[in-house]
Structure 1
Amino acid sequence: MTSASYPDPSRRLLITGATIIAVLMVTLDGTIAVIALPHMQSTLGASQDQIAWVLTSYLLAGAIATPLAGWMADRFGRVRVMALSVVGFTLSSIACGLAPTLEFLVFARLVQGLSGASLVPLSQVLLLDINPPEKQGPAIAAFGMGTLLGPMMGPILGGWLTEYVSWRAIFLINAPVGVMAFTGLMVFARDLHPGRASPFDARGFAFVSISIAAFQLMLDRGQMLDWFDSTEVCIEGTVAALFAYVAVVHMLTARNPFIKPAIFKDRNFLLGTMLSAVTGIFLTGVIPIMTSMMQQLLGYPVLLTGLISTPRAIGNIITIMLVGRLVSVMDARYLIFTGMALLVCSLALLSSMSLEVSQTRMGFVTFLQGCGSGLLFLPLTMIVFSTLPREHRNEGSTIFTLVRSLSGAAGISLIQAATIRDQAQVQSHLVERVRPDNPVIGWSMPDFDVMNVPGVQAMMGEIGRQAAMVAYVNSYRAILILAVIAAPLALFMRKANRTAEPLAAVHGE
Structure 2
Amino acid sequence: MSSEWPDNDKLDAGVLKVAGVVVLGAIMAILDTTVVNVALQKLTLEFQTSFDTIQWVATGYMLALATVIPVTGWASDRFGTKRLYMIAIALFLVGSMLAGLSWNVESLIIFRVLQGFGGGMLMPAGMTIMTRAAGPQRVGRVMAVLGVPMLLGPIGGPILGGYLVDAVSWRWIFYINVPIGIITILLAWRLLPKDAPEPAERFDFWGMLMVSPGLAALLYGVSNVPAAGGVGSVDVWLPGLAGIVLLVAFVLRTLKVPNPLMDLKLFTNRTFAVSMATMSLFCVAFFGAMLLLPTYFLLVRGESALTAGLLLAPQGIGAMLTMPVGGQLADRIGVRKIVLPGIVLMLAGLIAFTQVSATTPYWQLMAALFVMGLGMGCTMMPITTAALQTLTPADMARASTATNIVQQTAGAIGSAVMSIILAALLAGKFEVPTSQGQLAATAAIMNPQTHAVATGLAADAFGTTFLWSLVLLALCAVPALLLPAKRPSLPEGHEAPQPVVMH
Q: TM-score, normalised by structure 1?
A: 0.80
Q: What stretches of structure 1 of length at least 5 have no aligned partner?
A: 429-455
Aligned-residue offset at 1:267: 1.2
Could you tell me which residue of structure 1 aligns to residue 437 of structure 2? none
Could you tell me which residue of structure 1 aligns to residue 394 of structure 2? 391
Aligned-residue offset at 1:420: 5.1
Q: 2:249 aligned to 241, 246, 265, which one?
A: 246
Could you tell me which residue of structure 2 aligns to residue 437 of structure 1? none
Q: 1:482 aligned to 475, 485, 491, which one?
A: 475
SS of the residue 1:159 aligns to:
helix
SS of the residue 2:258 aligns to:
coil
Aligned-residue offset at 1:250: 0.9
Structure 1: which amino acid aligns with 2:317?
A: I
Alignment of 1:34-49 (within 5 A): 34-36=37-39
1:471 and 2:479 correspond: no
1:406 and 2:409 correspond: yes
Q: How many residues align?
A: 480
Aligned-residue offset at 1:502: 7.5
Could you tell me which residue of structure 1 aligns to residue 265 of structure 2? 262
Aligned-residue offset at 1:318: 0.3
In 2: Cα distance, 1:458 partner to 1:339 partner: 38
Q: Which moved more, 1:393-402 or 1:416-425?
A: 416-425
In 2: Cα distance, 1:209 partner to 1:221 partner: 18
In 1: Cα distance, 2:415 partner to 2:43 partner: 24
Q: Residues 426 and 471 of structure 1 are in contact (CA less than 8 Å); yes or no, is this contact kept in structure 2? A: no
Give per-residue Cα distances to partners, 1:453-484, cap 9 Å, x unaligned.
Answer: xxx98997698468547734743553354244
1:236 and 2:243 correspond: no
Residues 310, 239 of structure 1: alpha-carbon distance in 2 compared, 3 angstrom cutoff: same
In 2: Cα distance, 1:297 partner to 1:100 partner: 28
In 2: Cα distance, 1:350 partner to 1:459 partner: 19
Q: Residues 263 and 396 of structure 1 are in contact (CA less than 8 Å); yes or no, is this contact kept in structure 2? A: yes
SS of the residue 1:346 aligns to:
helix
Aligned-residue offset at 1:270: 0.8
In 1: Cα distance, 2:269 partner to 2:43 partner: 46
Aligned-residue offset at 1:423: 7.0
Alignment of 1:292-331 (within 5 A): 292-293=295-296, 296=299, 305-331=308-334
Aligned-residue offset at 1:163: 3.3
Aligned-residue offset at 1:383: 1.9
Larger Rg: 1
In 2: Cα distance, 1:393 partner to 1:273 partner: 15
Could you tell me which residue of structure 2 aligns to residue 286 of structure 1? 289
Could you tell me which residue of structure 1 aligns to residue 76 of structure 2? 73
1:26 and 2:18 correspond: no
Could you tell me which residue of structure 2 aligns to residue 341 of structure 1? 344
SS of the residue 1:73 aligns to:
helix
Could you tell me which residue of structure 2 aligns to residue 376 of structure 1? 379
In 1: Cα distance, 2:160 partner to 2:307 partner: 17
In 1: Cα distance, 2:371 partner to 2:11 partner: 37
Aligned-residue offset at 1:404: 1.4
Could you tell me which residue of structure 2 aligns to residue 277 of structure 1? 280
Give per-residue Cα distances to partners, 1:293-349, cap 9 Å, x unaligned.
Answer: 555557777666555433211110000122244334322221122212222333455
Instruction: Give the % identical residues.
Output: 25
Residues 93, 118 of structure 1: alpha-carbon distance in 2 compared, 3 angstrom cutoff: same
Q: Residues 77 and 195 of structure 1 are in contact (CA less than 8 Å); yes or no, is this contact kept in structure 2? A: yes
Q: Residues 160 and 306 of structure 2 are in contact (CA less than 8 Å); yes or no, is this contact kept in structure 1? A: no
Could you tell me which residue of structure 2 aligns to residue 86 of structure 1? 89
Structure 2: which amino acid aligns with 1:507?
A: V
Residues 261, 506 of structure 1: alpha-carbon distance in 2 compared, 3 angstrom cutoff: farther
Residues 38, 502 of structure 1: alpha-carbon distance in 2 compared, 3 angstrom cutoff: farther
Give me the CA root mean square deviation: 3.8
In 2: Cα distance, 1:40 partner to 1:291 partner: 13
Q: Residues 141 and 320 of structure 1 are in contact (CA less than 8 Å); yes or no, is this contact kept in structure 2? A: yes
Aligned-residue offset at 1:424: 7.1
In 2: Cα distance, 1:163 partner to 1:477 partner: 32
Q: Residues 22 and 181 of structure 1 are in contact (CA less than 8 Å); yes or no, is this contact kept in structure 2? A: yes
In 2: Cα distance, 1:462 partner to 1:28 partner: 30
Q: Residues 4 and 495 of structure 2 are in contact (CA less than 8 Å); yes or no, is this contact kept in structure 1? A: no
Aligned-residue offset at 1:241: 1.1
In 2: Cα distance, 1:164 partner to 1:464 partner: 30
Structure 1: which amino acid aligns with 2:478?
A: I
Could you tell me which residue of structure 2 aligns to residue 61 of structure 1? 64
In 1: Cα distance, 2:339 partner to 2:480 partner: 8
Give per-residue Cα distances to partners, 1:409-463, cap 9 Å, x unaligned.
Answer: 22233234335546777999xxxxxxxxxxxxxxxxxxxxxxxxxxx98997698
Could you tell me which residue of structure 2 aligns to residue 172 of structure 1? 175
In 1: Cα distance, 2:106 partner to 2:292 partner: 31
Could you tell me which residue of structure 2 aligns to residue 496 of structure 1? 488
Could you tell me which residue of structure 1 aligns to residue 443 of structure 2? none
Structure 2: which amino acid aligns with 1:410?
A: I
Could you tell me which residue of structure 2 aligns to residue 15 of structure 1? 18
Could you tell me which residue of structure 2 aligns to residue 139 of structure 1? 142
Give per-residue Cα distances to partners, 1:51-93, cap 9 Å, x unaligned.
Answer: 7665555334322111111111122221121112112222333
Could you tell me which residue of structure 2 aligns to residue 442 of structure 1? none
In 2: Cα distance, 1:47 partner to 1:426 partner: 20
Q: Which moved more, 1:295-304 or 1:281-290?
A: 295-304
Aligned-residue offset at 1:368: 1.8
Give per-residue Cα distances to partners, 1:84-142, cap 9 Å, x unaligned.
Answer: 21122223333444557777655543332212211112212322222256654332113
Aligned-residue offset at 1:209: 0.8
Q: Residues 191 and 505 of structure 1 are in contact (CA less than 8 Å); yes or no, is this contact kept in structure 2? A: no
Q: What stretches of structure 2 of length at least 5 have no aligned partner?
A: 432-448
SS of the residue 1:67 aligns to:
helix
In 1: Cα distance, 2:463 partner to 2:240 partner: 29
SS of the residue 1:363 aligns to:
helix
1:2 and 2:2 correspond: yes
SS of the residue 2:332 aligns to:
coil
In 2: Cα distance, 1:129 partner to 1:149 partner: 25
Q: 1:161 aligned to 159, 164, 177, which one?
A: 164
In 2: Cα distance, 1:112 partner to 1:123 partner: 16
Residues 68, 93 of structure 1: alpha-carbon distance in 2 compared, 3 angstrom cutoff: same
Q: Residues 162 and 307 of structure 2 are in contact (CA less than 8 Å); yes or no, is this contact kept in structure 1? A: no
Could you tell me which residue of structure 2 aligns to residue 212 of structure 1? 215
Q: Residues 12 and 508 of structure 1 are in contact (CA less than 8 Å); yes or no, is this contact kept in structure 2? A: no
Structure 1: which amino acid aligns with 2:340?
A: F
In 1: Cα distance, 2:500 partner to 2:385 partner: 19
Structure 1: which amino acid aligns with 2:67?
A: I
